[in-house]
Structure 1
Amino acid sequence: MINLFFKRMRAMYEYYPMQFWLLMAGMLVSRIGMGMIWPFLTIYLKTKLGLPLTTITALLTLDSIMSIIASFLAGTVTDRLGRKWVMVVSLSMMGIVYAMMSQANTLGAFAILMALRGLAVPMYQVGADAMIADLIPNDQRAEAYSLLRMVSNTGIAIGPAIGGFIAATSYGIAFMIAAVSLLLFSSLVGFGMRETIPAEAAAQARTGDGGYRTVFRDRFFLWFVGAFTMTGMASSLVFALLPLYTKENFQLPETQTGLLMTVNATMVVLFQVLVTRWTKQRRPLAMLTIGALFYAVGIGGMTAGSAFPHFAVSMAVMTIGELIVAPTSTSLASSLAPISMRGRYMSVFSLGWGISHGLGPVVGGLLNDFIAPIAIWYGGVAWALLSAGLYFILYRTRKTRENSASPQPV
């Protein structure tokens, strides 16, 4: 049994190029560091600055507005100049930002740092997604993206569990560990990876190919990004507001809220590849519809939560949706993109994530402050159901077009 396990692991290792595994190793290091900070950032800002939740979520919105701007820049630069150095700049900037956050003491300072973080994050994501599309054939990408998510979530599983204990003692130490891990990953990308952009793609991008106008004329792709944005809005409520919601309303300490994030990440580590092997054999939009419904059920369960086990079960149900949606949506986005425009298509796709994680928490904060804390989760259910409906409409539209294009029997 052990020999069979190692044979399978060796076969998987030989199946993908070495650069893919370097990307995986760097992702693990950086995600451990980032996972120690992000789940507790709202608590840190509330404690250090004494701000209302609406103001705190406005900082998250500022982060996302800057992400939107950076997404457009990253797509063009990634298509014209390559993937590698876009990733290096992004990771280095994120490391510096986290180091400076440990010393910031005012709302203005945090606003500047959140804006810089917003600029940095999408540049890395666009570059990494495009690099994987360059390295891995289309029929293998869903599983490749799922492996990357598995390693990413291994780091996120470890990060919050450690970060909850460190943050309870010193947020400054947690910030510095995150900074060092990101700078180490930046060095790995800079010195250990090669550029992957196809030569013909770079030449086409530099000579002009319609720019973003081509992307924004692709109505099917834009509706797909819109549905994905709604799913992201539902997800953002959980990851941005659940730690503060459970602490303020049910007195759950950071150690337990960190473990809630670990439930999510552990499930991704254990089941992502298995789920993706099942979903990649089926129609992507049908799978996305099912995944969004799992989001709705899981987030709806938060309304009945009052103790750690309740929230852990709801998180587990929502994570099933994430296991389906995350790699399926990324693989579908990359398959819809022409080779010379992968960076721009992936940047618009990541734009949906940026919009959702900016708009979602601030609306959740308004629901909390002006209606009731529990209204956060009713808003999440509504967004998840809307996204499921839109995925289903796109599924039916595409299936109808495929049937009409097929030869008719005579």
Structure 2
Amino acid sequence: MTTTTIRSEAATPASDALGIAALPDQPRPAQPSASRPSRQSRPSRSRAPLSVFAGFPRAIWVVFAGTVVNRVGFLVGPFLVFFLGSRGIPSSQTPYVLGALGAGNLVGPAVGGWLADRHSRKLTMLAGLLGTAAAQGALFAAPNVATMALAAIALSATATMVSPAASAILTDDVGPARRREAFALIGWAVNIGTAVAGVLGGYLAAHGYWMLFAIDAGTSLGYAVIVAMLLPADRTRHDASQTPESLTSASQTLAAQSSDSPTSAATPTSSGYGIVFRDRLTRRLLILFAVQLFIYSLTESALPLAIRTDGLSPTVMGLAAAVNAGLVVALQPLATTLVSRFPRTQVFLTGGILTTTGIALTGLAHTPTAYAATVTIWSLGEVIIGGIPASLIANLAPATARGRYQGAFSWAWGVSRFLALAAGTTAFTLISPAFLWWTALLAGTAANIGIMLLSPAIDRRTSAIDEPATR
């Protein structure tokens, strides 16, 4: 739960090292107008599962490779609770640092989306990645709870700047008919890296937490190098997106949306987030997505607390992360191929039910095997949903506001993560674990019903650009 066309270039030695050179250069499609979006051909359903990701432009594979590298270093977050314990931070003060980590999510996505639209996708990603590496070092060196909280805010703020710019690149370079697959591909990259991190994390945590921070910072720098070397500057493409023709197309899109968002008064030339939050359908979707993302974020905050409360070692958290990532890595290509044959709303609701149920069942788990079983359930839901929410937001966005729409989606994730890290952990420690897990079950069910009720409006808005799910 990241505006100009990136040009295809000849493979460099660095791209050879990443395996990107083997990918054929893709002709860059013209920037699609908002009123007549381009379509990319969809791979045949009869091909092997991995073929669902074939034919994407080179820039998508650059983001894919960088995401894998970066997520291999996703070590500090899952083990932060255990790190704080090793520094003598009592459980009663843990929510302060976790809440601060969540607070940065309220700033980073909004800044990242605005910078991506206003200035440069590439420079926004570089600023976020370099800032993340610096903040990792600051968090490790922080001497007390107050300085840890400040470093945690900086860490999450810079880290969440990256996603809106990267997502905007996907939206720019992939036609509406294949955006779901593109976002599923990046989700797959996240879990490939996380699978490796899950295997390494428990071992490294047992031998010194400094290694977690060092690898996390190093992989952020590695992603920054990939972006700097392989992703072309996008200023020219961004300037082109602001031509009178593109603004006219965006105006036409907003006019077409008026039947579903009659309160929208934003103009496509607006540089702020009014264009997003005056879109009634998008606003409602973001609220419902935020509820679902809050529940999912409990796997980062409340799940480690539950494991620690049961007296289990950090290696159990590593096992949980490995089970989740391993299932997504193994099943995502196949699932993306299979579920695309069914109506999107049915697919999304099925995945939402599995995710909500699996996470709520954490309250009944007290052994490594039980935790692995609950992780398996919500991981299957994650696989089924893969790519749908972000691609929906992408398809609702005017061409001139893609970064801000993705920034708003990332901001919704940030709000959810903040609440999970702050309110979720507080409810767990001060009220009761059972209260938190029952709340997750009821809230997730309500969100699923809400999305089902909005599905006719979503279909009306996206019918002109979506490839019908059942064809």
TM-score normalised by structure 1 residue count: 0.89
Structure 1 residue corresponding to 2:152, chosen from 114, 119, 122: 114
Structure 2 residue corresponding to 1:332, chosen from 347, 368, 392: 392
Could you give the per-residue CA deviations for residues 68-100 of structure 1, whole angstroms, max 9, x where no partner exists?
223222222111212111001101111111122
Q: Is the 8 A contact 2:89 2:145 kept in 1?
A: no
Aligned pair in 2 of structure 1 residues 198, 280: CA closer, same or farther (>3 Å)?
farther
Structure 2 residue corresponding to 1:293, chosen from 344, 347, 353: 353
SS in structure 1 at match of 2:73: helix
> Which residues in structure 2 correspond to 1:171-320 (within 5 Å)?
171-196=209-234, 197-203=237-243, 208-209=269-270, 211-249=272-310, 251-320=311-380
SS in structure 2 at match of 1:78: helix
Q: Which residue identity does 2:61 align to in structure 1?
A: W
Q: Which residue identity does 1:215 align to in structure 2?
A: V
Return the alpha-carbon distance in structure 1 between the equivalents of residues 66 and 199 of structure 2. 20
Return the alpha-carbon distance in structure 1 between the equivalents of residues 375 and 162 of structure 2. 27
Aligned pair in 2 of structure 1 residues 255, 67: CA closer, same or farther (>3 Å)?
same
Q: Is the 8 A contact 2:49 2:337 kept in 1?
A: no
How much has 1:380 moved relative to structure 2? 1.9
How much has 1:379 moved relative to structure 2? 2.3
- Specify the alignment match of 1:140 in structure 2: 178
How much has 1:316 moved relative to structure 2? 0.9
Worse overlay, 342-351 or 290-299: 290-299
**Is 2:119 the partner of 1:77?**
no
Return the alpha-carbon distance in structure 2 between the equivalents of residues 210 and 29 of structure 1. 33
Q: Is the 8 A contact 2:294 2:419 kept in 1?
A: yes
Q: Which residue identity does 2:70 align to in structure 1?
A: S
How many residue pairs end up in the alignment? 394
Could you give the per-residue CA deviations for residues 165-187 of structure 1, whole angstroms, max 9, x where no partner exists?
11111001211111111111111
Could you give the per-residue CA deviations for residues 135-159 of structure 1, whole angstroms, max 9, x where no partner exists?
2111111111111111211110110
How much has 1:393 moved relative to structure 2? 1.5
How much has 1:39 moved relative to structure 2? 0.6
- Specify the alignment match of 2:61 in structure 1: 21
Structure 1 residue corresponding to 2:449, chosen from 389, 406, 410: 389
Identity of aligned residues (%): 24
Aligned pair in 2 of structure 1 residues 140, 198: CA closer, same or farther (>3 Å)?
farther
How much has 1:161 moved relative to structure 2? 1.6
More helix by share: 1
Return the alpha-carbon distance in structure 1 between the equivalents of residues 56 and 462 of structure 2. 32
Q: Which residue identity does 1:248 align to in structure 2?
A: T
SS in structure 2 at match of 1:15: coil
- Specify the alignment match of 1:407 in structure 2: none
How much has 1:302 moved relative to structure 2? 1.6
Return the alpha-carbon distance in structure 2 between the equivalents of residues 361 and 314 of structure 1. 20
- Specify the alignment match of 1:162 in structure 2: 200
Q: Is the 8 A contact 2:339 2:384 kept in 1?
A: yes
Return the alpha-carbon distance in structure 2 between the equivalents of residues 98 and 66 of structure 1. 14
- Specify the alignment match of 2:407 in structure 1: 347
- Specify the alignment match of 2:257 in structure 1: none
Q: Which residue identity does 2:166 align to in structure 1?
A: A
Structure 1 residue corresponding to 2:434, chosen from 374, 377, 396: 374
Structure 2 residue corresponding to 1:41, chosen from 80, 102, 121: 80
CA RMSD after TM alignment? 2.5
How much has 1:28 moved relative to structure 2? 1.1
Q: Is the 8 A contact 2:109 2:163 kept in 1?
A: no
Worse overlay, 174-183 or 285-294: 285-294
SS in structure 2 at match of 1:385: helix
Could you give the per-residue CA deviations for residues 325-381 of structure 1, whole angstroms, max 9, x where no partner exists?
341101111011011100011111111100000012322222222322333322221
Return the alpha-carbon distance in structure 2 between the equivalents of residues 373 and 157 of structure 1. 27
Q: Is the 8 A contact 1:49 1:105 kept in 2?
A: no
How much has 1:31 moved relative to structure 2? 0.4
Worse overlay, 261-270 or 376-385: 376-385
Where does the alignment leave 5 or more consecutive residues of structure 1 unmatched?
1-6, 404-410
Q: Which residue identity does 1:200 align to in structure 2?
A: A
How much has 1:14 moved relative to structure 2? 5.9
- Specify the alignment match of 1:63 in structure 2: 101
Q: Is the 8 A contact 1:29 1:185 kept in 2?
A: yes
Q: Which residue identity does 2:172 align to in structure 1?
A: D
Q: Is the 8 A contact 1:236 1:360 kept in 2?
A: yes
How much has 1:304 moved relative to structure 2? 1.9
TM-score normalised by structure 2 residue count: 0.78
Return the alpha-carbon distance in structure 1 between the equivalents of residues 445 and 141 of structure 2. 41
Q: Is the 8 A contact 1:295 1:322 kept in 2?
A: yes
- Specify the alignment match of 1:98 in structure 2: 136
SS in structure 1 at match of 2:141: coil
Worse overlay, 209-218 or 281-290: 281-290
